[in-house]
Amino acid sequence: MRIEALHLTGFRNYRAFYSEFSPSVNLICGDNAQGKTNLLESICYLSQTHSFRTRKELELVRFGADYADMEAKIFSDGREQILRAVLFSGKRPRQLFLNGVKQKNAQSLKGVLTTVLFCPEDLLVLKKGAAERRRMIDAALCQLRPRYDRAVEEYTRLYNQKSAILRDHFERPDLMEVLPEFNERMAVAGALIVSGRAKYLRELERYASQFHSRFSGGTEELRIEYRTVSTIDDPYAPTKRLYEQIREHQQLHARAEAESGQCLSGPHKDDFEVFLGDRSIKVYGSQGQTRTAAISMKLAEREIFHADTGEMPVLLLDDVLSELDAGRQDFVLNQIKTGQVFITCCDKTRLTELGQTLMIEDGVLLGGGQAEGGV
């Protein structure tokens, strides 16, 4: 899967932009605030039909312009396809097109272009709380496994209802009568979730450790440990056994749940920890190490998607080079040899041996393709 060309009109600080891209590395260079991240944002928008930076479409339309038009020529699923989105500055709803045909909703555009994005905020995933990490696994797994997606949806719904019962039962003790049924259904969905996460994290570790080792010149070994419901001794066990062990945990915590008025048992408290050797990244990781591990995990996410679907997602790396030493920068610029990659960077002396460099200044591609050119 790759982007062959992109045409922007009135998107963010781009008045008119047209470029064709290398199927390998595209290094996007420019000073601060010139439009590098904006370019990745437009690609992400066409991939996911929403921005990773804002929910407000109006912000994406160039100041003073009536509309923003994004159009990309994609090679995907063995053929060329055209994705297009037009956003308006007024109240008019956006328009989405696939191969020139206006689409009723965003669903038909999904999957035409898959992207894996790394942005500086992703570093927080390894350093911050467990909720961020659960969100990261769920986002990747829900895309790949519809059954997992349904289990998470069901579990979340049941969890919210059970939490409300536990919160309100002090005033309304009769509510507790329905709790056994909730526990039963949460254990069924929970077992699928635990099984899915365990297998996904095992794959993630397998690929990420290979990348991390190459990245760090073989000096660091990355490991991922999955933490789930304490009564589960083997998260790879058949879901029937996971179900029984989740039930056991619920029984052990039934009293504490009633007393605290909170839902204490189940995979909604899951977490994973990333180690380099035997040291936790969260506790001991340096900035460069954390960044290296986070990028390795993104590369791993892409490999898993590729192994599963046969398509290699386009990799978007925003601002990854800072804080990396020369060897690690060389890995990012010159060693990611599979699939298409976009890398933004402020240092104009950086070069890639693999693809091409695009210079961006104030929303203009220097020495680039013609702005008038169609996709």
Residues 4-63 that bind Mg ion (CB under 5 A): 37
Among Mg ion, ligand ATP, none, what does residue 9 contact (CB within 5–8 Å per kind)?
A: none
3-class secondary structure, 339 = coil
The bridge status of strand 79-88 relative to strand 364-365 is unpaired
- C-beta of 347: minimal distance to ligand ATP in Å? 10
Q: For residue 61, what is the DSSP state?
A: B
Of 2, 3, 7, 12, the one binding ligand ATP by CB under 6 A: 12
| Using rule CB under 6 A, residue 339 touches ligand ATP | no
Count other Cβ atoms within 10 Å, centred on residue 298: 22
Which lies closer to ligand ATP via its Cβ, residue 15 or residue 269? 15
Binding mask 295-334 for ligand ATP (x = CB under 6 A): ------------------------x---------------
Query: E strands along 267-338, which residues?
Result: 271-276, 279-280, 314-317
Query: Which residue type, as a one-letter code, is found at position 169?
Result: H
**Dihedral (CA of 111, 117, 122, 125) sign:** positive
- C-beta of 60: minimal distance to ligand ATP in Å? 6
Of 19, 38, 183, 245, the one binding ligand ATP by CB under 6 A: 38
Residues belonging to the chain: 375
Q: What residues pair up with 70 in beta bridges, in sequence order?
A: 8, 85
Could you tell me how many residues of this chain bind ligand ATP (CB under 6 A)?
Answer: 16
Q: What is the Cα gyration radius of the chain?
A: 23
- C-beta of 210: minimal distance to ligand ATP in Å? 30
| Using rule CB under 6 A, residue 33 touches ligand ATP | yes
| Using rule CB under 6 A, residue 63 touches ligand ATP | yes
Q: List C-alpha distances in Å: 252 to 23, 32, 151, 172, 245.
A: 55, 55, 24, 23, 11
- C-beta of 235: minimal distance to ligand ATP in Å? 39
The bridge status of strand 2-11 relative to strand 67-76 is antiparallel
| Residue ranges binding Mg ion (CB under 5 A) | 37
| Residue ranges binding ligand ATP (CB under 6 A) | 12-13, 30, 32-38, 59, 61-63, 319, 346
